[in-house]
Amino acid sequence: MSVLLAFGLLSACGNSDDIPDTNNHSEKEETGTIEKSSGQMVDFQLQNEDGMECYDFKEGENIIFRLEIKNDTDEDAILPPFSEVLGLDVFSVYSWEGEKIGTPWDVVMTSFRECEIIGTHSSAVFVCPWFDIPALYYNGTEHYYSEYFYKKDDKSPLPKGEYFSEFEIKLNEKTITCSRKFDIR
4-45 per-position pLDDT tens digit: 333 333 333 333 333 333 344 444 445 566 655 445 689 999
**Mean pLDDT, residues 54-72:** 95
Q: CA–CA separation, 55 vs 29, rounded Å? A: 14
- Residue 122: the pLDDT is 93
**Gap between the terminal Cα atoms of the chain:** 52
Q: What is the pTM of this model?
A: 0.79
* Residue 172 pLDDT level (bands cut at 50, 70, 90): low
C-beta of residue 95 within 8 angstroms of C-beta of residue 101: yes
- Span 81-113, pLDDT tens digits: 888 888 899 999 999 999 999 999 999 888 778
Closest CA to 168 of 113, 110, 89, 100: 89
Amino acid identity for residue 40 in this structure: Q
The more confident residue out of 144 and 22 is 144
